[in-house]
Amino acid sequence: MMPQLLTVQVKRPNGRPIRIWVPVLPVLLVLSPVVVLAVVVAAVACLVYRISLLRALGTGWRIMSALPGTRLDVEHGRTAVLVNIR
């Protein structure tokens, strides 16, 4: 299943945390020309390096399908960025 929602929370040292919800599907639809271009570039790279195109696309889809449930926490000093993929 493709991720549906990204939750980004920035904890600042001197204030309330900032929380942003990003729906994945509308962002993907807006960026679809870039995604199509990236797939074409990846296909050309697969042909140049003699990698199976179907296997590479399948691997990319598996990575996208494994993203839901991923949590990324980055802290630097007193500032923290938390990303949760649902």
pLDDT, tens digit, 9 for 90 and up, residues 32-41:
999 999 999 9
pLDDT, tens digit, 9 for 90 and up, residues 73-84:
999 998 999 999
In terms of residue numbers, what domain contains 32? 5-85
The secondary element (H helix, E strand) that includes residue 45 is helix 32-48
Q: What is the band of 43 on the pLDDT scale with cuts at 50, 70, 90?
A: very high
Q: Using the predicted structure, report yes or no on whether residue 1 has a pLDDT greater than 80.
A: no
Contact 56, 48 (CB under 8 A): no
Share of the chain above pLDDT 70, in %: 100
Question: What residues form DSSP beta bridges with 60?
Answer: none
How far apart CA 36 and CA 30 sit, in angstroms, is 12
What total of structural domains would you count in the chain?
Answer: 1
